[in-house]
Structure 1
Amino acid sequence: MISMAGKAIRKWWALFALPTFAAFIIGFVVPFIMGVYLSFCKFTTVTDAEFVGLKNYTRALQDKEFLHALGFSTLLTIVTTIVINVVAFSIAYMLTKAIKGSNIFRSVFFMPNLIGGIILGYIWMLLLNGILAHWARSLTYSATYGFWGLVVLVCWQQIGYMMIIYIAGMQSLPTDVLEAASVDGANGTQTMFKIIIPLMMPSITVCSFLCVTNGFKLYDQNLALTNGAPSNMSEGLAMNITRTFYGRVGWEGVGQAKAVLFFVLVAIVALIQNKLTTSKEVEA
């Protein structure tokens, strides 16, 4: 029997959904459509846009700094996605065992995720300047050290969050399957690669998706730790787009075109990654 509240919700659901739907349209859909249109225009404000066709996209794809930022972000995403998932999975596996103080360890590993990206960047900059001064100097003068500095920062921040997702997945694994494997004489390696990892694929899909999107969207940590130094060689895609739009007069349309290309790239990569990992999921 449907309650009075349930009847009211069924009757007036559109009214309840209207504020959120309107906010979504006004705050996301309309700006997105305007942004796509402006990527084909030369403009300084939205009121003086002049349609120029594909000129902005041509200039964006001919910009060597944009192409370098694309390569930088792609490599950073690949490295961080692998490191974060492997380390987070390993920590989660250890902390689901009967280890004394495991709850404390979970809290400690998760804490960096509670700190904002800008603050994290400055914290690591201060740490490197104060403790590893000779290496921190290279963060400014070498894109290679800047790259690995960002890898360390991003991994340190996100491992704890992915660890929580993996712990939740491991705690929901069917114990009867694991017990059957033990009875059948499966060793630890066989159990891990033939049973645990295949059953953990839903969690791996989620974590991989988050790592891929976060890697490409990285901005605040990049800004705080290296600010693109030296000569924008440690600059990711998000920072390059922002600098093009706000820092180069007459390049607003090009910056908008880069943003659209950025959206398309992240969407395609995320969909491919999601498809590949989802296809490997198995039923418990």
Structure 2
Amino acid sequence: MKKIFMIVLSLVLLSVLPGKALAVKPDSNLAAAKTVEWNLSGDVMPLPWGQHDITGSDTTSKLIVNQPNGNTEVTLTGVMGGLNPNTTYVVYVANGWTTSPLWDVSGSWDFAINYDGIDYTHTISDLQVGGTLGYSGNNKTVTSISIVGDNIVIVADYAENGPGTVTLTGVIDGDGNMSGTWLDSWGGLDRTGNWESTYGVATSASVGNGFPGLFGSLQPFTFLTDEFGSGSWHLNLKDADFSSIGEFTLSVWVNGGGATVLISDSFDVVR
């Protein structure tokens, strides 16, 4: 009977006395690990990014982000593969990176170039530098194409009946159509008018805006690959690594040979 009483008493004490072994994680616990995708630098950033990328290293490597309870706010673990063997790589924990739209205007176009109320249709089979902007025996060679945001400037030299240069300045609308004003110096004249695309469409893609800067005061660190091009690294971010309480967007960048070779997707963490 005494033995049964002691067992019951022990169970009662366990049910009422607090203890770490019985603590329940709060509903807001963020401990579940998640895998963040890697990207080859040239896949998300403009040239000259990507010239030292190693094909396949983005899919072979893994980035694991975990938010455990306790003093450590975030743990970052890199399981790297497909890199150059016996090589030192540098890891940068950075702010989240941003993108901007980039218009692609390559392909076939018709431009209605209006002069004195008459549209003169110029065609080009592939809009690029060196392409021929053709019109009935008065062809022009494209010498430059500049795109900044939604603004475009196309410059072409008269290949026939020259000398002269025509400059088309315009805007690309949300549907990929172009329109604006033009100015040329053909035959010593300064002619001008309006123009618009009547065939062809520009396509939009997003491109990264470059390195966004280190996150807080975190400094770069290195890891070494083995003879198979594999390696790993681990980093704990604590309270002191965050400027305040709130949500933060981070990314991880890996450099090798003086150039970025891998860039993670941006990911959010909470302090």
Q: Tell me which interval the TM-score lies in, with the shorter structure as reference length.
A: under 0.3
- Whichever structure has more strand as a proportion of its residues is 2
Q: Using CA pairs below 8 Å that are at least 6 residues apart, which structure has the higher relative contact order?
A: 1
Under a length normalisation based on structure 1, what TM-score does the superposition of the two structures give? 0.18
Structure label with greater radius of gyration: 2
Return the TM-score normalized by structure 2. 0.19
